[in-house]
Structure 1
Amino acid sequence: MSAEHAQHSYAHQKDELLSRLRRVEGQVRGIQRMIEEGRYCVDILVQIAAIKSAVHQVGLSILESHTRGCVADALAHQDHGDEKIEELMSVIRQFTRG
């Protein structure tokens, strides 16, 4: 499955992923308010950690969908499987850099 395809492997999760990202967006706005109000540093840091975790979970979901969909499909059909594995490894390296 190429990057140009309209139907991505995460399509079945689209609503859930968007819902999670909207919650993250709300959390970010909440942190902005906390800073404006001069809230306690530790409370802000706890919220930042929660946002990082939530975004990481969205990334893991998309990464899993890509692996089970695009990569598995390329390997099963012997369609540039080595390229897909290299692409996957590259994105895993980027994703785990922190």
Structure 2
Amino acid sequence: MTHTSKHKDKLLARVRRLKGQIEAVERSLEAGAPCGEVLNLVASIRGAVTGLTGELIEHHIREHVSNPDTDPDRDRAQGAAELMDVVRTYLK
């Protein structure tokens, strides 16, 4: 079972929220909303996509590279933990 299957419900919920946010941008554009309002909606989508990306990368590292919580190789576990920290920082 892949990590995306393990976390499928949570990931799908995030994707569905993104879909709702994108539909809100569409409705705003159709209604002629002020550009500042549309920009704020788009910025929230960017943040949501970044959060989803970070979550997927972290799950991938834990599943396919090393899980820092269970890996008996301390150096590999530390390296995986550091990589996840760097990814989180980069995606902020």
TM over 0.5: yes
Q: Does 1:58 align with 2:49?
A: no
CA deviation string 1:25-79 (max 9, x = no partner): 0111111010010001011000101001101111111100010111117xx6xxx
How many angstroms does 1:11 deviate by?
A: 2.6
Higher relative CO (CA 8 A, sep ≥ 6), structure 1 or 2? 1
Distance 1:11 1:57 in 2: 18
Give the number of equivalent residue pairs: 76
Distance 2:4 2:30 in 1: 37
Unaligned stretches of 5+ in structure 1?
A: 1-6, 77-87
The partner residue of 1:70 within 60, 64, 69 is 64
Unaligned stretches of 5+ in structure 2?
A: 72-82
Distance 1:53 1:14 in 2: 20
RMSD: 2.5
Query: Which structure carries more helix by proportion?
Result: 2
Q: Is the 8 A contact 1:31 1:47 kept in 2?
A: yes
Q: Does 1:41 align with 2:32?
A: no
The partner residue of 2:14 within 14, 17, 20 is 20
TM-score when scaled to structure 2? 0.69
Percent of residue pairs bearing the same amino acid type: 32
